Chains A and B, each alone.
Chain A
Amino acid sequence: MRRISLITLIIGLATVLSAAGGDGTTYGEGVTLHEAVAVETLLASPDDYLGKKVRVDGVITGVCKKRGCWMQITDPDSGNGVRIKVDDGVIVFPYEAMGKKATAEGVFDAITLSPEQVEARAAQQAAGQKTAEGESCDKEGARDGAGEGAGCDAPAQDNRVFLIHGTGAVIYS
């Protein structure tokens, strides 16, 4: 009887642990919102979402290669993507996450680029340097005016860069 109880306990624990883990790896605070906003919707009417906590689902199509301090989540149907920026070291997105399905949440924000930052970005793109998929979260990029302060080189729309200040994510294997 005692053995049966022990086996039951082990199976129960294993079930609880596997259910808690799911098939994804949780980063930061994970994901708490039940409904995701389509990236396309977010970028089509960004002012409706500014300052609000949102969740986006999609495929990881870019990762900060040096520090893992951002990842780009793209809706595979529309090709629209949004960058999830986290504080260095608080959450680290691994390069191996590229191409995996993910869900992430955080506060949607816009950074208005200064004329100098717009110019620096244009110059970088013209020179074929560190584009949206580059590594310009580094200080070099920030010094050039197109990096950290300008949203880690995330794509711009009308001189504004939209990004999500990520609080958590789940990356599925």
Chain B
Amino acid sequence: MKWRRLIIATHRDVGYFFAGLTVIYAISGIAVNHIEDWNPNYVIRTESAPLGELPPGGNDAIAAAVLDRMQITETPESVVRMSPGQLRIFLDRRTLTVTLPSGEVVDEHARRRVAFFELNYLHLNHGKGFWTWFADVYAAGLIVLACTGIFIITGRKGLGGRGRWLLLAGLAVPLIYLILVVWS
């Protein structure tokens, strides 16, 4: 019975340690699973504003006129003439696309989606380096949790009875999916 005590203790402690990260990965997993339907990292808003005809001039002069008319005091990160008829002004997480000379402006603002940006950053391992290593440890921890979890309960509800069928059912779902979708 010593090994069962070890299994339960391992499952408990590894489970406590990785509980938070499991929730983080699960929430982010749902978020990025539906990436075709929404942007899980940023809230991006686009508005149009007619500023009226702009005076001819260099990029900086036109940009200054646009910012003045829009009452923006921020200094642009950069100003780029994308084509003879289009100027783009880059601010912090905000891009103004100006049609010349009509002065039609498309104003795109972006902000990080609260909490989701950080959760996705971890889950999708954008940081690399240390996080790659830690995520590998977490993955190994999940394997430990799964392998110890199936041996916690004995008897009719354990692997000898109900547990066995649930285990097989859980394995059958990906297997049937692979047979129908990938290997057919």
Q: Which residues of A contact B (CB under 8 A)?
A: 59, 61, 65-68, 74, 76, 79, 81, 89, 92, 95-96, 98-101, 135, 138-140
Contacts and interface: CB of A to CB of B under 8 A. Distances in A.
A65 B45 CA distance: 12
Nearest to A66: B39
Given A65-B44, A79-B82, A92 B124 contact: yes
Interface of B: 35-36, 39-42, 44, 76-83, 88, 90-93, 95, 110, 124-126
Contacts of B88: 61
B143 to A, nearest CB: 22
6 contacts: A59-B90, A61-B88, A65-B42, A79-B83, A98-B77, A101-B78
B36 to A, nearest CB: 5
A66 B41 contact: yes
* Interface residues of chain A: helix, strand, loop or mixed (majority): loop
Contacts of A61: 80, 82, 88, 90
Contact of B80 (A79, A95, A139): A79
Contact of A79 (B40, B81, B126): B81
Given A79-B83, A100-B77, A95 B93 contact: yes
Contacts of B125: 89
A158 to B, nearest CB: 18
Contact of A74 (B44, B80, B93): B80
